[in-house]
Amino acid sequence: MVKSVYGDTIDLSNVGIFFNKDNQKAEYTAYNLKKILLEKEVESQILTTNNFNKDITFAFVLGGDGTILKTARYFSKFEVPILGINLGRLGFLSQAKSTQIEEAVDFLLKGCFKVEDRMMLTSLNGKMNALNDIVIKGDGFSRTSRLYVHINDNIVCDYLADGIIISTPTGSTAYTLSAGGPILSPILEAIVVVPICPHTMSARPIVIPSDEVIKVTSSQNKPLLKISADGQETYDLGINDDIEIKKSQFKAKLILLNLEKNSFYSVLKEKLHWGLSWKG
């Protein structure tokens, strides 16, 4: 066990290094990380994101945000902390680049880390869980859908739109942001509802408490719908299916390192260039 200066503990007795086999750089980086851990007397095993092992006690994840999201969804059920190493483009959920692996391991072993619980969403009677967002869209290409949003069984919005995004605070910097939604601190307990390209100027994003239940229904004369979790798991729905979305009982456990540099607001500024004025 390693105890952090913030009082959190992690179990390094069964460390997994997970990578996306489609990323050519990832396998090399995984073996490099394994070597660094072994030099520091930490045993580990290398696995792909197609071969998760529920007995893992701590997970390093090598890849982009999509790889981290997939790993976080799986290990949230087992309360396993994960540390992301960015091999992708933005890397909003990661804590270090591939060139900073040894530094990241040192931070971890010295206890300079924090375990941050991130709220998740669930739908389809628990079959679907998401760390970023759950998205509902029409099945047809370039088709709008009429979607009715109920919150705690009260009809709130009637959207004629390309779809709707139900997002966590973690997901507020992803698809939700691109669709015009607000940015929320990831430690908040809240849900964001954002229409995608609504056919009215009065349709605006809504932020609601995390304990409220959202139900989405569609009109009877529209095509089938698709629902997806984090843009990765997708299911088809019939026009008569009611879709209930609520806070999940599971939480993703993300490791934060070097909190001064990797604070949420520092990451906003560095990776999204947030609040920086244009210099001509």
Residue 51 neighbours by CB distance under 10 Å? 10
Put simply, whether the predicted model's pTM sits higher than 0.85 gets the answer: yes
Per-residue 3-state assignment (H helix, E strand, C coil) for 61-128: EEECHHHHHHHHHHHHCCCCEEEEEECCCCCCCCCEEHHHHHHHHHHHHCCCEEEEEEEEEEECCCCE
Question: Per the domain annotation, does 148 fall within a domain?
Answer: yes
**Number of domains composing the chain:** 2
Domain span at residue 178 reads 121-248
Give the model's pLDDT for residue 192.
98
Q: Are 243 and 262 members of one domain?
A: no
CA distance 141 to 124: 24
Question: Per the domain annotation, does 24 fall within a domain?
Answer: yes
Question: Per the domain annotation, does 199 fall within a domain?
Answer: yes
Q: What backbone phi and psi angles, to 5 degrees, belong to 180?
A: 95, 15
pLDDT band at 276 (very low <50, low <70, confident <90, very high): low
193 token code pair:
């509802």
Length of the chain: 280
Give the model's pLDDT for residue 25.
86
Question: Per the domain annotation, does 188 fall within a domain?
Answer: yes
Mean pLDDT confidence for 124-146: 86
Lowest mean pLDDT among 135-144, 150-159, 196-205, 242-251: 135-144
Q: Are 95 and 188 members of one domain?
A: no
Annotated catalytic, 106? no
Give the model's pLDDT for residue 92.
78
239 token code pair:
């026009």
Options 55, 65, 117, 236, the catalytic residue: 65
pLDDT tens track for 195-237: 998 887 778 899 999 999 999 988 766 567 899 999 999 998 8
pLDDT band at 87 (very low <50, low <70, confident <90, very high): confident
Domain of 224, CATH number, reads: 2.60.200.30
Q: Are 228 and 135 members of one domain?
A: yes
